[in-house]
Structure 1
Amino acid sequence: MNEKKKTFSVRFWMRRTRTQGNVSPLFCRVTICGQRYEINANFCAPLKGWDAKAQRFTGRSAEEKNANRVMNDMRIKIEDTLNKLRKKEAEINLKNFRLAFEDGKNDYSTVSALFEYHRIIDGKNLEPSTNLLYDVTERLLLRFVKTRYRLSDYMVDAIDKAFVMEFYAFLQGFRREGKGRVCTVNGAMKHMQRLKRVMNLALQNDWIASNPVCTLHVKRNKVERGYLEQEEVEKIRKAVLPPSHAVLRDMFLFAVYTGISYVDMVNMTPENITIGIDRTRWIHFNRQKTGLRVSLPLLPPAEEILDGFECYRPEGEENRKIFPMLTNQATNRYLKDIARVAGVKKNITFHVARHYELSLSLKLNSLQRFVS
């Protein structure tokens, strides 16, 4: 009996952080060998009648009597779970207890299971790169759970405001163990947005009563976007580079002269190039990010670059792309090498190409097409 007290305990408490009006939700914490498992009793009761020492409500109201009945039923279920494990001669540890206790609950009641549900329901509607970002958020969330609660997973209905705030702080380095990149405020907010979306799925299925991530109100830091000046573009254009880097440089400059994003460059095919009413070449495509239709006239520098990529488009090849694009990560890595050779001190990424002020001569050339 003494050994059981040392290794196993049950405690009920009122979660004051979720108090609405004068009532708070009732929770149960089972501790096995120092590891905690929190269970939402799915019952709210007034704080006034709660006796924390006696672990029961002392009032005579119907809500308090029902709350005491809920706790008694939960104690019985906990004892029944222990008896099941003993009959199976299974080890009394947190993992075995939780699996036995949750037998019959929905299949997506844990964090990892909920993210898997998100992959099934929403994953097919997202880009592969976006799905990878959700995987990163899941890994960081489970790492936080392991660090903070010493658990390999966590019950979704036990996530509350305090959990959300601590995870947000964890992303920025709070109580973070081992190596790993610490997020900026904006980076942490991206992870919280993805967690909010996943938790909304649980809310829509009535697996949780409310989405605690909605209680996080943090303003993003304003970031000054990098941009290129005409002098810097000229340095990049004239830089002497090895063939592999020169090809990437030309694709980057094409984005500079057209403002096309990386993903839209990847998807570009000859079918996107047409002859306009001004008898010059235009680009027509739907932006992958927004779905909006875009029509752009090709300025002379862009046309010259486009002509240089004819050799990359063999006739008869299905779904042939105009540009031999590398991955975004490899592209940005090589662009830093190009910038160093060109003597450009700014942190160059492919996205920076969209922030370039066209010279007056190029603007006039474009304007003449419309008036001629």
Structure 2
Amino acid sequence: MKEKKNTFSARFWMRRTRTQGSVSPLFCRVTIAGQRYEINANFCAPLKGWDAKAQRFSGRTAEEKDANRVINDLRIKIEDTLRQLRKKNAEIDIKNFRMTFEDDKSEYSTLTALFEYHRIIDGKSLEPSTNLLYEVTERLLLRFVKVRYKLSDYKVDAIDKAFVMEFYAYLQGFKREGAARLCTVNGAMKHIQRLKRVMNLALQNDWISTNPVCLLHAKKNKVERGFLDEQELEKIKNVVLLPSYAVVRDMFLFAVYTGISYIDMVNMTRENITIGIDRSRWVHFSRQKTGLRVSLPLLPPAEEILDGFDCYRPAGEEGRKLFPMLTNQATNRCLKEIARVAGVKKDVTFHMARHTFATTITLQHGIPIETVSKMLGHASLTTTQIYAKVLDKKVMDDMSVLKEAYAKKESLKKASNQ
């Protein structure tokens, strides 16, 4: 008796016996060693565009494109089922195929559940602000799914390159009322990066066979980092303000002369101010963002500002915050008003203090970029190069030495020829 060959085939067809109006349901028949298993694709489409030989729709209507996407997704799921069986060294027969295919591989099979899994697995190692950004990405994804597919959630294994590209386009205003953009190009890329990281969790757990987000090759726009020059700094320092705005201005200037970020300044206490090796006051802290230790001597303007806040810190009270910081949003609103009153025509934010420290305060005065990087608490010198611009004045000063050398060389050459 001949052994039956373990052949496999998967064929799609339109079930005409269930046609309603002009549309019929789409099915797939999996055959293994002569045994059949029919899969309902849960999708109906017009018979007119169906190409039985190619097993897909030949038209270009939105319905036919969606139907072809369903076919592609189902093919991927079938191949993934086979891959799982081979990985387990299980016999590939109809019974095993059907059990594996119909089994919910994970309770985290939808976007909502996968983001919840991410919060459980990775959330504890992330900063609260970063976790909030992942929540924003999740909300935007679910809003896109509702607009595009009329669904409240979406299967993770159904996400493909087209889904990712359309989500990216949606963030840029594609198919949105009034074509309003939800975010900038760089902001959209941040959401795509977070989606990629979450999808990598699904990939690592074998819930998907490939990460479709890896197929997106969009590039970020280079953004010029704003900073204040010396004249603009003087305007802000000297402008007459109401007391509440003056307090915000002084805290901003302290960050200008130290390069401290908003969150690190919020967390600063008296214990972060110490006497350094030169017997002057230094500021020591570990950056919340990177965990790197930062240590730098206080410049005279920073010391003067610090002394001005002594009344806020009663003597003997340990752990009291150095500064009465407002929320980041409230601080930035105040800074915009301060800039307006001072006649500074720039969109001033608290983070601009860091850029100003890197450029106007340090690099412009000849501080090596390696030292600036250490004071900013950057893990990479490349990051500092993004923040820090070499100003025209610094270029002029550096090139003047070279110009003088050439001038001397030319004058000596002329003298020798006379």
TM-score of the superposition, structure 2-length normalised? 0.65
2:26 counterpart residue number = 11
TM superposition shift of 1:11: 2.2
**Contact kept in structure 1, 2:19 and 2:25, CA below 8 Å:** no
Please show how residues 60-99 of structure 1 align to structure 2 within 5 Å: none
* 1:336 matched to 2:371: no
Q: Retained in 1: the 8 A contact 2:270–2:318?
A: no
Identity of aligned pairs, percent? 69
1:29 corresponds to: 41
What is the identity, as a one-letter code, of the residue corresponding to 2:108?
A: Y
Per the alignment, residue 221 of structure 1 pairs with 221
What is the CA deviation profile of residues 115-136 of structure 1, one whole-angstrom value per residue up to 9, with x for unaligned ones? 1111111111111111111111
Q: Give the letter aligned to residue 230 of structure 1.
A: E
8 Å contact 2:271–2:319 — kept in the other structure? no
Alignment CA distance shift 1:29-1:185 (3 Å)? farther
Name 2:372's counterpart in structure 1.
none
- 1:359 is displaced (CA, Å) by 8.1
Whole-angstrom distance in 1 between the partners of 2:177 and 2:199: 26
Q: Distance in 1 between matches of 2:363 and 2:117?
A: 53
Contact 1:299 1:362 in 2 (8 A): no
The alpha carbon displacement at 1:298 in A equals 0.3
SS in 1 for 2:120: helix
Q: Measured at CA, do residues 145 and 313 of structure 1 come closer, stay the same or move farther in structure 2, by a change above 3 Å?
A: same
Match of 2:78 among 43, 64, 73: 43
CA distance in 1: counterparts of 2:22 and 2:117, whole angstroms: 34
Q: Which residue does the alignment assign to 1:232?
A: 232
Considering Cα pairs closer than 8 Å and 6+ residues apart, tell me whether 1 or 2 has the greater RCO: 1
Q: Which amino acid in the other structure matches residue 43 of structure 1?
A: I
* Matching residue's letter, 1:150: K
Shift of 1:44: 2.9
| Structure 2 match to 1:24 | none
Query: Deviations for 1:334-357, whole angstroms, at most 9, x for unmatched residues?
Result: 110110010000111111111221
1:43 partner SS: helix
Deviation of 1:312 after TM superposition, in Å, equals 2.1
Q: Check conservation: 1:287, 1:294, Cα contact below 8 A.
A: yes
SS at match of 1:222: coil
TM-score w.r.t. structure 1 length?
A: 0.73
CA distance in 2, matches of 1:171, 1:315: 52
CA distance in 2, matches of 1:2, 1:279: 91
1:107 aligns with 2:142: no
Q: Which amino acid aligns with 2:345?
A: K
Q: Distance in 1 between matches of 2:27 and 2:317?
A: 67
Alignment of 1:58-207 (within 5 A): 105-177=105-177, 181-207=181-207
Shift of 1:107: 1.6
Tell me how far apart the structure 2 counterparts of residues 227 and 132 of structure 1 sit (CA, whole Å). 27
The amino acid that maps onto 1:245 is: Y
Offset at residue 178 of structure 1 (A): 7.1
The answer on whether the counterparts of 2:26 and 2:44 sit within 8 Å (CA) in structure 1 is no
Cα distance in 2, alignment partners of residues 261 and 107 from structure 1: 40
Task: Give 1:269's aligned amino acid.
Answer: T
Question: What do the CA deviations read for 1:188-208 (whole angstroms, capped 9, x no partner)?
Answer: 100001101111111111111
**1:73 CA displacement:** 5.1
Inter-CA distance 318–178: structure 2 relative to 1 (3 Å threshold): farther
Q: Is the 8 A contact 2:26 2:41 kept in 1?
A: yes
- TM-fit CA distance, 1:255: 0.6
Consecutive unaligned residues of structure 1, counting only runs of 5 or more, are: 14-26, 46-65, 78-100, 365-372
Q: 1:44 to 1:236 in 2, by over 3 A?
A: same
Max Rg structure: 2
Q: Distance in 2 between matches of 1:249 and 1:118?
A: 39
How many residue pairs match? The answer is 304
Q: Which residue of 2 aligns with 1:353?
A: 353
Q: Deviations over 1:306-357 (max 9, x none)?
A: 0111222234556321111122122111110110010000111111111221
Paired amino acid for 1:123 = G
Residue aligning to 2:48: none
How far apart, in 1, do the equivalents of 2:155 and 2:362 lie? 57
Unaligned runs of 5+ in 2: 1-15, 29-38, 46-62, 81-91, 368-418
Confirm or deny: 8 A CA contact 2:173 2:180 kept in the other structure: no
Cα distance in structure 1, aligned partners of 2:144 and 2:175: 9
Q: How does 1:172-321 map to 2 (within 5 A)?
A: 172-177=172-177, 181-315=181-315, 317=317, 319-321=319-321
Contact 2:228 2:352 in 1 (8 A): yes
2:272 alignment partner AA: N
Amino acid at match of 2:275: I
Q: Is the 8 A contact 1:142 1:152 kept in 2?
A: yes
Cα distance in 2 for partners of 1:29, 1:241 equals 68
Paired AA for residue 265 in structure 1: M
Note closer, same or farther for the CA distance 1:219–1:177 as it changes in structure 2 (3 Å cut): same
Q: Distance in 2 between matches of 1:106 and 1:359?
A: 53
Partner of 2:78, secondary structure, is strand
Residues in 2 aligned to 1:316 and 1:7: alpha-carbon distance in whole angstroms: 83
Letter of the structure 2 residue corresponding to residue 314 of structure 1: P
Amino acid at match of 1:251: M
The answer on whether the counterparts of 1:285 and 1:294 sit within 8 Å (CA) in structure 2 is yes
Q: Per the alignment, in what secondary structure is the counterpart of residue 355 of structure 1? A: helix
- 1:350 alignment partner, SS class: coil
